[in-house]
Structure formats: structure tokens, C-alpha cells
Amino acid sequence: MNLQDFEQARYYMIEQQVRPWQVSSPHVLALLSLIRREDFVPPAFKAMAFADLEISLPGGQHMLSPKVQARLLQDAGVQTGEKVLEIGTGSGYMTAILASLAQRVLSLELVGELVEMARDNLQKACVYNAEVRQADGAQGAPADGPFDVILLGGSVSEVPANLLAQLKLGGRLVAIVGDEPSMHTLRITRTGDANFKTDELWDFCAEPLLNFPKTSSFKF
């Protein structure tokens, strides 16, 4: 594909996949146009960078489809000046968009090969306000918190209480929660020291994040 082909594919990705999935945030849509998704996929999959599918990544992981990533980003509602914790860096594409919206992003990834891939991708994209750290995302990063936003790049059976404790007052966590075949995207907002408001947003089944405990149900 040449540059014109990539730009046309990017346009159709936004207009035919992302917008119909109720993504209307001007900030998210603008960044989908600006940040080159094709530079964040393995070279063998460049031609499929804009397809409505999950792309294979090293370590047996997968990159979520464009529309799902865009919807998660919109629901997180990251604002200028906010500090973000991302769990599950993958290729670094979502990290790059988060970094364009926020003041600082800390992204945790367990798979060493993905850590190196994401760091390289972010450096090439001139993203300097995001740190990719090889760490267990299930533990979060309490020493670096509290955070305005915590965004999970895969599914969990339930949201661990230790992650919710790392939110600032008014901060929100966005995650795909549940077990197949029933998963729901939730936005959990911290309203007090021990109080949280949960909004159920949309249904979608995603690959589980590594090291998070499996349970038969989730409760808040």
C-alpha cells in the first residue's frame, strides 16, 4: 500500500467502522486521523491495520479492533492535564492516543517483547510523555498514583479493589468486565473514599488480560 492507500483506508476506518459505533468525540476522531495506526502493527499486518478485526501481536496477544479502541478512548474522556494508567500496552497505539490527550501516561505490559515493541513504536511516533513499564497490570502502580483515569486494554472477570483504590476522587476506570459469553464495558467513577458509581456502557467480549484472577461473577 502506498501513502494514498493508507490515508484512504484510514478515512474509511473512521467513517465506516468508528463513527457507526457511536464514537463522536472530536478529540478521539482527530487523533485517529493523525496517529498512524499502520506504524503500530507488526510489519506483516500493515495492510490489515485498518480492518475491523483483532491483529495478532507477539506473546500470543491481540490488538483490539479500531472501533473498540476508539470507543474505550471516548468513554475514558481523558482531559488535558490528567494522569493516566493504562493496563495492557500491546503495540502502544492506544498509549499514543492517550498521551496526546493527557499530561502523562504510565502503561503497564507483562510481555517483554511487547514492551520493547511499544517503546520503539512510541519513540518513532515522537511520543515523549508516556512510559511503558514491564509490570503486572493486575497490581497497578500504587507508588505512581493516584490517577485521573485507569484504562484496561483487555477484559477482566472483575475489577480488583486495589486498582479502584488508585483512582483520584472523581477519577474513572474503564474496563471490559465479565466472562464469556457475557461481558460489559463499565466506567467506574470514584465518588468518595470508599464510594464508586458504576455505569454499564456497552457489551463486548475481549481477550482477558494476563494475571487477573478469574471469577464466576463480578460484583460492586
DSSP string, 43-94: GGGGGGTTSSSPEEEGGGEEEPPHHHHHHHHHHHT--TT-EEEEE--TTSHH
Question: What confidence tens digit (pLDDT) does each residue in 54-106 have?
Answer: 999 999 999 999 999 999 999 999 999 999 999 999 999 999 999 999 999 99
Burial class, 38, CB count within 10 angstroms (exposed 0-12 / middle 13-18 / buried 19+) = middle
Per residue in 161-195, pLDDT (tens digit) is 999 999 999 999 999 999 888 899 999 999 999 99
Q: Considering the domain boundaries, does residue 210 fall inside one?
A: no
The number of C-alpha atoms within 13 Å of 158 and in the hemisphere containing its C-beta is: 11
Domain presence at residue 216: no
- Structural domain that includes position 180: 3-203
Per the structure, the count of domains in the chain is: 1
Whether residue 151 has pLDDT greater than 50: yes
* 101 grid coordinates: 490527550
Q: How confident is the model at residue 220 (pLDDT cuts 50, 70, 90)?
A: very low
The three-point CA angle 14-95-84 to 5° equals: 115
Q: Is residue 208 part of a domain?
A: no
The sign of the torsion formed by the CA atoms of 213, 136, 44, 2 equals: positive
Residue 112 belongs to some domain of the structure: yes
In a domain, 214, yes or no: no
Residue 195 falls within a domain, yes or no? Answer: yes
Q: Is residue 215 part of a domain?
A: no
The CATH number of residue 189's host domain is: 3.40.50.150
Q: Is residue 219 part of a domain?
A: no
